[in-house]
Amino acid sequence: MKRAIVLLSGGIDSATTLFLAKKKGFRPQSLIFDYGQRHRKEIEFAKKLAKRARSPYKILKLSFPQKSTSLVGRKREIPLRRSLKEIKKRIPSTYVPARNLVFLSIAASFAESMAARAVFIGAHTEDYSGYPDCRKEFFTVFKKAITAGTKDGKNLRIYAPLVNKNKKEIIKLGIKLKVPFEFTWSCYTGGKKPCGVCDSCFFRKKAFKELGINDPYFKEK
């Protein structure tokens, strides 16, 4: 069985990606970053997901030299939900510059050291993100950097299987793959229950509602 590194955050997207990697016949090794997120909840859910997928996991502490965005550190306010038009207009303040570039670089290093053949990332262009390093163009160029910068880079594939999907499509895929959505966490706040109003909760709620599916997330926590 071919090995793969899966970047796992504890959200719907990376959870679906993890189960997709399994479905594609890979033996996934999950990589969870502890980079000073607002709360530990995300990491706890990522661990639960990895266990459910029977994927070994590593939690990696990583501090970005700057702490200037609202997802890292507690000082700045979390932006509340914005319209799709607003989202498309500008990069949100939750942006950590080049976060996926950093995560993928470390994953590629790890992949080479364990002779893994693939790195999976659940990033996508649609939905609330809008980060430049979530786009297909970026992954294509990044793959070239890996080929140029590592010994076995030409044998390493970067999979971003959700890149062109929207939240609804991701949820549909996740349900098909039997992703345990009750073990995911989307909310930007770290309360006992998801807040329901931040960008992340809002779009999740909306997508499940439009699909006519019950989201165990808002029910059971």
11 versus 130: smaller Cβ distance to a second copy: 130
Candidates 110-118, 161-169, 185-193, 213-221 — which segment interacts with a second copy by CB under 8 A?
110-118
Q: Which of residues 18-77 bind a second copy (CB under 8 A)?
A: 31, 58, 60-66, 68-69
User: Concatenated DSSP letters for 116-183?
Assistant: --EEE----SSTT---GGGSHHHHHHHHHHHHHHSSSGGG-EEE-TTTT--HHHHHHHHHHTT--GGG
Q: Which of residues 75-94 bind a second copy (CB under 8 A)?
A: 91
Q: Are 64 and 101 a contacting pair, CB within 8 Å?
A: no
Total residues contacting a second copy by CB under 8 A comes to 46
One-letter amino acid for residue 38 of the chain: R
Among 23, 74, 144, 206, binds a second copy (CB under 8 A): 144
Candidates 38-46, 78-86, 148-156, 182-190 — which segment interacts with a second copy by CB under 8 A?
148-156
How many residues comprise the chain? Answer: 221
110 versus 218: smaller Cβ distance to a second copy: 110
Among 39, 73, 81, 102, binds a second copy (CB under 8 A): 102
Under rule CB under 8 A, residue 153 binds a second copy = yes
One-letter amino acid for residue 33 of the chain: F
CA 6 to chain CA centroid, nearest Å? 9
Taking the complex as a whole, the smallest distance from the CB of residue 215 to a second copy amounts, in Å, to: 32
Candidates 41-49, 76-84, 142-150, 168-176 — which segment interacts with a second copy by CB under 8 A?
142-150
- Residue that the structure tokens 């790890």 belong to: 110
103 versus 188: smaller Cβ distance to a second copy: 103
58 backbone φψ class: left, alpha, beta (φ>0; ψ -120 to 50): beta
- Sequence-separated (6 or more) residues with CB below 8 Å from residue 211: 168, 171, 172
Taking the complex as a whole, the smallest distance from the CB of residue 214 to a second copy amounts, in Å, to: 37
Under rule CB under 8 A, residue 146 binds a second copy = yes
Q: According to DSSP H, which parts of 82-125 are helical?
A: 84-89, 99-113
- Residue that the structure tokens 């989202």 belong to: 87
Binding site for a second copy (CB under 8 A): 31, 58, 60-66, 68-69, 91, 95-102, 105-106, 108-114, 132-133, 135, 137-138, 140-142, 144-151, 153
